[in-house]
Amino acid sequence: MSATSTLVSSSLTSSNTERELVAFRMGEQEYCVDIQSVLEIRGWAPATPLPQSPSYVRGVINLRGTVLPIIDLGARLGLPVTPPSARHVIIVARIGLKTVGLLVEAVSDILTVGEELIQPTPDISCETVRAFVKGIIAIDGEMISLISLDGLLPEEIVQEAA
Amino acid sequence: MDPMEAIKATFFQECDELLGDLEAGLLTLETGDGDLETVNAVFRAVHSVKGGAGAFGLEPLVRFAHVFETTMDMVRSGALAPDPDVIKVLLRAADHLADHVSVAKGNDTALGGEDGLVAELEALSSGAGTGDAPVPSIAAAANDEPDFGFSPMMISIDDGPDEAPAGVPDWSVSFTPKDVMYRNANDALPLMRELTRLGPVVVSCDVDQVPLLDALDPLGAYLTWNVILTAPDVARERILDVFEFVDGDCLFSVEPVQAELPDLSFVLPDLEPLIPTAPDEPEPALLAEPALAPIDAAAPPAVAAAAPAAAAAAGAADAPSADGRASEAAAPTIRVDLDRVDRLIDLVGELVINQAMLAQRVMESGVARSSNIALGLDDLEQLTREIQDSVMAIRAQPVKSVFQRMPRLAREVAAMTGKRVRLVTEGEGTEVDKTVIERLAEPLTHMLRNSIDHGLETPEERRAVGKPEEGVVKLAAMHRSGRIVIEISDDGKGINRERVREIAIKRGLIEADASLSDEEIDNLIFAPGFSTAATISDVSGRGVGMDVVKRSIQALGGRITIVSKPGHGSTFTMSLPLTLAVLDGMVVTVGEQTLVVPITAIVESLQPKPGDIQALGPEGHVLSVRGAYVPLIDVSESMGWTSPDLTGPGVTLLVESGTGGLAALRVDAIQGQRQVVIKSLELNYQQVEGIAAATILGDGRVALILDVDALISLRKRTAPPPSFQLAIAS
């Protein structure tokens, strides 16, 4: 009962001040994306590598008949590439008109966060961080970075989608 | 989509069909095979386009269609003979009508040359009036009709019968919809509106049949509309045409009247109760003079019989619409949004993949082939294939839609080149997937042009070698072993091999002393760079060579071959897949990956012997194929997966690129040939060089389909000069 009321209250208020976010872990760091762009979360499956693709493109997998490209999110952000294991998770998300799989280590939580709790990204030199991290949230002494999915795909894709 | 837009889209779809019918009909008439039914079909097509366009307020289209229709009406009534000159104008009018539709769709913006065409059409319709045709002109026919039909009757009318014959008739239209008309989603209002196009109207509604509320069937139809139309120049059949779409779903009559409009509308309400009126015949209520009632009783056929010309026209108008319904009933069709069909095809593709996955898993689990579960899977497999075939058949269309554009092209090219051509088509009913048909038009157009322009001789040349002056170009389609084969053959002079050879040497395509078989020389015309510049003409040689044709055929997963006999003509044969949704592929293994090579690109597979592979330059390798050398492409290396290991075992596939270049693809093993469902990579990712598309294998994993052309051009820098490739092009 209390769970229901929480849901109702969060959905009532999320339209103006609160956002629901999917939090996940990559390396030792916590990141999150807006739940509205997430379609589903599924286990890791071996991907078919693509030729002539950036190192963060893991290849393509079969998602119920659709060819789904897999982006190693950590590698995209410049973190060291870790070989995917059975524990890894694919977050199926929508970026523009395309559906892509984001490879992350593990999904940790679903958060409801007030807009005012999202702090601006500190000004650091790393370009990929500046490009993708759109804010920082502090919860229970932990720092979670909010990622924007726009521009995550290789250049040509963004141009095509635009 | 906005509902109005949806209706409009349907209208444009219908337009495409109608325009196709229109042209086909005119072409039939041109050959002299046309009968009255053909003329009517053509008329109906123009009329239907006009009617629909009117509903959407497409004024310029309606205006032009009206002129066109008027001329067609002359042909229909026999006043204008459909001789070749007339048909030529009508064909151009059909073209222009198609342009109008295109403009209305928003595809085109500019329309030119309409005035001239309108003038020609009008000249035809008025010019016919001076001829010896039975009916002088449409307008005259309209005026004559009452003279023939009604003068004797009019005498019994007290009121001004003497002026009647010379007078200007108005039309009294009585229209009683049946409930079925409303159920067919027709409405009286658009019909009334259509009548107002013909002239000023006075409309009154007869509500006598409306029952009391408790007896009222809300789905019933009780109203009768009486219209006095002041349109002296309008022929009776023009009015009948307005009601063509609701024919059979309503009672209506169209009668000439002489009375003044205001009188009638005043007199009407008073007289109504006095006139004995049959429930289904409300006209007398409208017609002030009781003496006119017998005319109504006589009914339209009797009236028409009195006016022979009108009878022919009216009868013709009625008969075909009945026929049209009959043929529709014979093969009922539905119109479906293409997206839905595509979705269905996608789903069936997934079903096929899932079925294959399931079968593979069951086999892996070690179940005996004869066990119930394995047998059940066999049944499932059969069923899946049948479903796949049936679903693919939904998108299938007869090649007729492409073929029927060709006669016009043939005539135009013949006119431009001064040649005489008879185009024979065969197998128009052969069905292929819609996407294949759409992409077939361009290569076919080009090849037909070539056949006439380059293949056929001029009438004089033909006479000189003892051939009939008229050349024959045959266009044939047939199904052969799961593919469609399209042949274009001519009985012309065949390929001038000396000339081709000269050009090829001049362009550096072959060495001057190369010894080529006849077949190899013929195939040179497909070589890129083999321009027809030496034989340029108005018709072909517009910078589009046969290499482009070959490439577009290959892009469709097809092959093209040529057989030519000097003095007897050439035959081009295209073999194409029936659909672009599935592909015949050779499944190969490269490292840990499984890849698919399109069968159409594969010439043969070879097991190289030690020493067959030679290094050429720092990193290039060539494969010896019966004494000739072709560039060797290690697929694994091209994909960026491994560095080449050309010493180990492996298999090579001799492949041919769209531009005719040969290469050998080295893979680890060949698994076998199978049909795969093509899945787009661009949908969620982007184009990848060297990869044409993806597919999903029985184990559920994605396999990439190689783009052989791109692979070869990727390795161009290590490829030997073209003469090497041509030397083994057999």
Q: Are B45 and B25 spatial neighbours (Cβ–Cβ below 8 Å)? A: yes
Residue with tokens 């295109």: B102
Q: Residue B715: its pLDDT value, please? A: 67
Structure confidence at residue A133 as a pLDDT band (50, 70, 90): confident
Q: Are B451 and B412 spatial neighbours (Cβ–Cβ below 8 Å)? A: no
Q: How many domains does chain A have?
A: 1
Q: How far is Cα B113 from Cα B98, in angstroms, rounded to an integer?
A: 14
What is the DSSP track for B537-576?
A: -SSS-SS--HHHHHHHHHHTT-EEEEEEETTTEEEEEEEE
User: Is the pTM value of this prediction over 0.90?
Assistant: no
Pick from A48, A49, A68: which is nearest to B684 by CB?
A68
Residue B688 to residue A100, Cβ atoms within 8 A: no
Q: Is A160 a member of any domain?
A: no
- B632 pairs with which residues across the strands? B664
Q: Is A149 on the interface with B (CB under 8 A)?
A: no
Q: Is A11 a member of any domain?
A: yes
Q: How far is Cα B471 from Cα B550, in angstroms, rounded to an integer?
A: 25
User: How do beta strands B593-598 and B702-706 pair?
Assistant: parallel
User: Chain A 14-53, CB below 8 Å of chain B: which residues?
Assistant: 46-53
Structure ipTM? 0.79
Q: Which residues of A touch B686 (CB under 8 A)?
A: 153-154, 156-157, 160
Q: Is A104 a member of any domain?
A: yes
Residue B331 neighbours by CB distance under 10 Å: 6
| Mean pLDDT, range B654-661, rounded to an integer | 73
pLDDT digits (tens, 9 = 90+) for B105-144: 877 666 666 777 888 888 877 765 444 434 333 444 344 4
CA distances from B443 to B26, B217, B554 (A): 25, 60, 11
Structure confidence at residue B474 as a pLDDT band (50, 70, 90): very high
Residue B679 to residue A65, Cβ atoms within 8 A: yes
Structure confidence at residue B531 as a pLDDT band (50, 70, 90): low
Q: How far is Cα B109 from Cα B99, in angstroms, rounded to an integer?
A: 9
Structure confidence at residue B659 as a pLDDT band (50, 70, 90): low
Q: Residue B150: its pLDDT value, please? A: 40
Both ends of chain B: CA-CA distance in Å? 54
CA distances from A44 to A61, A92, A105, B397 (A): 10, 11, 10, 43
Higher pLDDT, B464 or A141: B464
pLDDT digits (tens, 9 = 90+) for B274-327: 444 444 444 444 444 444 444 444 444 444 344 444 444 444 444 444 444 444
Q: How far is Cα B179 from Cα B244, in angstroms, rounded to an integer?
A: 17
Q: Residue B529: its pLDDT value, please? A: 67
Structure confidence at residue B476 as a pLDDT band (50, 70, 90): very high
Order the strands of the B651-656 sheet from edge to edge.
B602-606, B651-656, B662-667, B628-634, B620-625, B613-616
CA distances from B519 to B2, B495, B561, B724, B728 (A): 57, 10, 10, 17, 12
Higher pLDDT, B468 or B151: B468
Q: Residue B477: its pLDDT value, please? A: 92
Q: Which residues of B touch A48 (CB under 8 A)?
A: 593, 694, 701-704
Q: Which amino acid is at B426?
A: E
Q: Is A66 a member of any domain?
A: yes
Order the strands of the A133-139 sheet from edge to edge.
A106-114, A18-26, A29-34, A142-147, A133-139, A118-119
User: Chain B 679-718, CB below 8 Å of chain A: which residues?
Assistant: 679-691, 694, 696, 700-704
Pick from B639, B640, B685: which is nearest to A60 by CB?
B685
Contacts of B667 (CB under 8 A, 6+ apart): B588, B589, B590, B595, B597, B635, B636, B650, B651, B652, B653
Q: Is A159 a member of any domain?
A: no
CATH number at residue A46: 2.40.50.180
Q: Is A111 a member of any domain?
A: yes
Query: With 60 as the cut, is the pLDDT of residue B151 above it?
Result: no
Q: Is A146 a member of any domain?
A: yes
CA distances from B619 to B184, B601, B631 (A): 74, 25, 11
Q: Which amino acid is at A92?
A: V
pLDDT digits (tens, 9 = 90+) for A63-110: 887 899 999 888 888 887 777 777 889 999 998 888 999 999 888 889
What element of type H or E holds B459? helix B459-464
pLDDT digits (tens, 9 = 90+) for A38-49: 999 998 888 898
- Write B128-132 long-range contacts (CB < 8 A, 24+): B128/B74, B128/B79, B128/B80, B129/B79, B131/B79
Domain that holds residue A132: 2-152
Q: Is A142 a member of any domain?
A: yes
Q: Residue B685: its pLDDT value, please? A: 86
Q: Which amino acid is at B384?
A: T
